[in-house]
Structure 1
Amino acid sequence: MSDLKKEAESLHKAATALRKVSHHTIKPLHEFKAESDDLGALGKLGSLLGATEDIREGMHTLAKLTKQLDEEWQAEAKLMGDVSDAFDLLDILLAAAAQAKKG
């Protein structure tokens, strides 16, 4: 097996794994966002400190950043898949060129 083929397989596996990350984060992120709108659990502490709105804003920001991170991972996975496909094609072309020289 050529080095390009090995590299392509490795990139393909990594891209596949990276694409699956969002499957594990969708539900927790949704629950986290829902909780940021219901900060009753802070009770009097939140009211006394006047921190409820700051906490809510921080939670919304964290949820937004997590979503952006997931989007970045998906873009990285696509790029890795494209590079893997390019390596596969290059490997085929190099093998064909080598075969043509022999025969």
Structure 2
Amino acid sequence: MKPKSGISISILPDHHDVLVSQKDQSVLDVALRLKIPLNHTCGGNGTCGTCLVHIVNGIESLEPRTEIESEMAEDRKFPDHERLACQLKPHDHLVVEIKKSN
């Protein structure tokens, strides 16, 4: 039996180890596909900031923020380890933690 291959990410705090589908364009897509609760009031357009996640592992391999995410990060003063799940492309061994709403 051939082992599964592909990109694997982890989503905390519930320790979901996930094999990413080719259809998953963002970390938000992965969470929605697996029914992992992740707020996204703007529908994944990067305009609300509710899908903010902490990067626990893999920050050095991330692509730069998109223009949309950069504007919000600058406006809201996000540190480098905070990213919008809707704008964040998954990569192998990425570990993110969903921020709990207040």
Does the pair score TM above 0.5? no
Higher normalized helix content (fraction of residues): 1
User: Normalising by the residue count of structure 2, what TM-score does the alignment of the two structures yield?
Assistant: 0.23
- Structure of higher RCO (CA pairs closer than 8 Å, 6+ residues apart): 1
